Amino acid sequence: MTIANSYQDLALSAWQNFIAGKKLACPSRQQITESWIRCREAGVDPCDDAMHSRLDKTALERTLLEKQELIKIAKPFMVNLYQFVQGSGFVVVLTDERGYIMEVFGDLDTLNNPLTNNFFQGASWQEEVAGTNAIGTALVIRKPVQVSGAEHYCRKHHCLTCSAAPIFDGEGRVIGILDMSGASHLSHVHTLGMVVAAAAAIMAQLDIQRKNRELALTNSRLVNIFNTMSEGVLMVDSRGAVNQYNPAAREILNKTGQELLGISIDKIFGVKAVLTHQMLHNKEPYEDVELMVDTKKSTFHCLASGAPLVDEQENVNGGVIVLRPIKQVQNLVNKFSGYYATLRFDDIVGESAEIRETMHMAALAATTSSHILLQGESGTGKEIFAQAIHNHGKQSNGPFVALNCGVIPRELIGSELFGYVEGAFTGAIRGGKPGKFELAAGGTLFLDEIGDMPLEQQIALLRVLQEKKVTRIGSDKVIPVNVRVICATNKDLLQEVKRGAFRHDLYYRLNVISITLPPLRNRVKDIPLLFRHFLDKIGRDRGRRFTVEPEVIKCLERFAWPGNVRELQNVVERAVSLTESEIITVTQLPAEICAAQKVLPYPAPALVPPLQENFGRAQRKKLVEEAERQEILVLLSKYGGNVSVVARELRISRNTLYRKMRLYAIEN
């Protein structure tokens, strides 16, 4: 008797005892014993000779459709397995994760043989249906298993030997079972090994297919990004010739695809191409290098970044170059550098006819593309109007860049306006710097105190306004700029032209639409509104709520306000800072405001309001000095003691400010 036959006899004896409810007479494999127990608990009849249950036609078709990828991949491996057992009565079976047969390979007579007639499409081989068997048991234990002869729980399968291995997906879930079954007397220990190897090959092929899908999806996404990104992308080979490009690069460089393919980077970048060659030869990437690329239409201004492409042996086989339009970069810089306007016409406080008429004219002017000249005394709110005009016009989505021509040294105003290239002059920063015209491209450039601009820069400004092009200092490259210019001044520019301090041609170029802002003394109706507006704002910032005595408003309305709205705002800050309660009284107002008798008609010949006749020259001087002292104190408090900033605000030198501080016994 062979060892196999001896084991089968023992297995049969153990099965008979188990079915009879007796204690096992001999030890059996643990996997088999546990399966028998599960079958008995599930109520499986070990003596049932009926055919297996099956899926109906609709359910089978749905299963085959859902599992078509697994079936397609498994079929070649099943064919290979079948070739080893062809003519021996064995069948090769593939089931789904529920144990339903999806595909069967076997001899024609084998499929009709009573021994293997339960192996058909749709047949269920779950343990609770077919008892202990390689397919059902492998589903439960999630491991390869071989079940032979009497190890089967159902007597009708004692003639079989079955070898099965589970098939897992990439996440470790069972998606099917591969099985090979035949007559029990033909069982071989190597059968299970063959099935396990085939199942492993199927899983490897499934993994390859999954990775191919992921690669295809990733490639599709990258191609979409490559083709839709706003930056231009050039791929070059190891010699610096373009071998791939995206639509943005073709549009930026204004070349056809045929013109771009194979073109040397030298013909595109000129002298700056040396950076790309260094990248290709020395693996040196570069980032945000400013380039001016000449195209058929114009000069394209951009920032270029390049990185080498290396293979597994660290050899450079090409590179990728990204071209970022300078406009995109400037918009980003403007966004985070404060180059935008926040104020609108709704933010202008006032109900007087004078301010309403001025706002109406400014709103009409905003809808045009003409240059605008804002005139008015200091503190009337010229920059507020400039921001409101910008936000009301077509350039509202562009940057709002402001430059005070009165506070910049005359030798630097040119570089501030027009920019410069690296090495243009001593102190020029590395890489150069764009000017305010470039930063304001597509938006508004607000030139405050235009009357203080040096004559030599007025000529350059006039040329830019006429040609709508700018050339950086030290460069010969012309950069087109589309900028709306709003100028402001507290001087009479026509008088400056007559004095020879301002060019007449620039004056007429700027003075297309002239808007004069009324002084506060001509807007007496607006003084209480502005005072309460500033008071409420400061109160919200400090978490306090203030009330105002009626006499305070009367004093404010009598004052001439030489410093206009800015002076009124400073008075509000002073009053809030000096009050110990939440009531604003006349005691917190400067002495000159309390002493004012009546507002003068516009224009006022002097900055100091007239006083009552019984005030002598000494009293008048004392009030003026006190007003100046209070203004210095307020500004020092406002700017945290920064003498330089306060001096600029007062438009005096630092030495003069220090002298006045000593005169008025002001300690900083």
pLDDT at 3: 52
**Which residues are 177's β-sheet partners?**
95, 166
In this structure, of 155-169, 171-185, 327-341, the range with the lowest mean pLDDT score is 327-341
The per-residue DSSP string of 19-85 comes to: HTTPPPSS---HHHHHHHHHHHHHT--TT--PPPPB--HHHHHHHHHHTHHHHHHHHHHHHHHHHHH
- The contacts of residue 83 (CB under 8 Å, 6+ apart) are none
pLDDT tops 80 at residue 28? no
CA 541 to chain centre: 32
pLDDT at 109: 67
pLDDT at 645: 82
- 613-668 classified as CATH 3.10.450: no
pLDDT at 144: 96
Spell out the SS3 assignment of 245-274.
Answer: ECHHHHHHHCCCHHHHCCCEHHHHHHHHHH
In this structure, of 293-307, 394-408, 430-444, 542-556, the range with the lowest mean pLDDT score is 293-307
pLDDT at 607: 35
pLDDT at 446: 93
Q: Which helix (H) or strand (E) holds 572?
A: helix 564-578
- The contacts of residue 459 (CB under 8 Å, 6+ apart) are 503
Q: What are phi and psi of 37, to 5 degrees?
A: -60, -40
At 512 the three-state DSSP class reads coil
Closest CA to 144 of 216, 200, 103: 200
Domain limits, the chain: 3-211, 230-332, 338-516, 519-610, 613-668
CA distances from 447 to 300, 486, 488, 499 (A): 27, 6, 6, 21
228: amino acid identity, one letter: T
pLDDT tops 70 at residue 169? yes
CB 365 within 8 A of CB 515: yes
Q: Which helix (H) or strand (E) holds 583?
A: strand 583-584
CATH code, 3-211? 3.30.450.40
Q: What is the pLDDT of residues 103-120, one digit of tens each?
A: 999 877 666 676 778 899
Euclidean distance between CA atoms 580 and 574, whole angstroms: 12
In 3-state terms the chain splits into helix, strand, coil percentages (rounded to 5) of: 50, 20, 30
pLDDT at 196: 95
CATH class of 519-610: mainly alpha
Name the burial class of residue 282, with classes exposed (0-12), middle (13-18) and buried (19+) by CB atoms within 10 angstroms of its CB: exposed
CB 403 within 8 A of CB 448: yes
Would you tell me how many other CB atoms lie within 10 Å of the CB of residue 257?
Answer: 9
CB 9 within 8 A of CB 25: no
Euclidean distance between CA atoms 99 and 125, whole angstroms: 5
pLDDT at 1: 42
- What is the band of 35 on the pLDDT scale with cuts at 50, 70, 90? very high
Euclidean distance between CA atoms 462 and 452, whole angstroms: 15
pLDDT at 395: 84
- Cis? peptide before 518, omega within 30° of 0: no
CB 572 within 8 A of CB 538: yes
Cα atoms in the 13 Å half-sphere on the side-chain side of 52 = 27
CA angle 249, 250, 256 (to 5 degrees): 160
In this structure, of 107-111, 263-267, 364-368, 560-564, the range with the lowest mean pLDDT score is 107-111
b/e 515-531 (16+ beta carbons within 10 angstroms → b):
bebbbbbbbbebbeebb
Structure tokens at 352: 């007087």
Euclidean distance between CA atoms 243 and 572, whole angstroms: 68
pLDDT at 591: 84
Euclidean distance between CA atoms 649 and 184, whole angstroms: 105
Spell out the SS3 assignment of 126-139.
Answer: CHHHHCCCHHHHHH
CA angle 336, 339, 344 (to 5 degrees): 120
3-211 and 230-332 share one fold: yes
| Average pLDDT value over all residues in the chain | 85
pLDDT tops 70 at residue 329? no
Q: E strands of 311-441, at which residues?
A: 316-325, 372-375, 400-404, 419-420, 433-434
Percentage of residues of the chain with pLDDT beyond 70: 90
In this structure, of 19-33, 219-233, 519-533, the range with the lowest mean pLDDT score is 19-33
Q: What is the pLDDT of residues 227-237, one digit of tens each?
A: 888 888 999 99
Pairing of strands 469-471, 286-294: unpaired
In this structure, of 286-295, 353-362, 473-482, the range with the lowest mean pLDDT score is 286-295
Euclidean distance between CA atoms 661 and 534, whole angstroms: 28
Euclidean distance between CA atoms 198 and 432, whole angstroms: 67
CA 238 to chain centre: 33
pLDDT tops 90 at residue 467? no
- The contacts of residue 71 (CB under 8 Å, 6+ apart) are 64, 94, 102, 103
pLDDT tops 90 at residue 445? yes
Closest CA to 98 of 58, 65, 144, 67: 67
Q: What is the pLDDT of residues 131-149, one digit of tens each?
A: 999 999 999 999 999 999 9
pLDDT at 103: 94
CATH code, 230-332? 3.30.450.20
Q: What is the pLDDT of residues 572-594, one digit of tens each?
A: 999 888 888 888 888 888 888 88
CA angle 555, 557, 559 (to 5 degrees): 70
pLDDT at 325: 80
Closest CA to 633 of 622, 649, 615: 649
Q: Which fold is adopted by the domain 338-516?
A: Rossmann fold (3.40.50)
Euclidean distance between CA atoms 267 and 554, whole angstroms: 75
- Residue length, the chain? 668
- How large is the average pLDDT for residues 90-99? 94
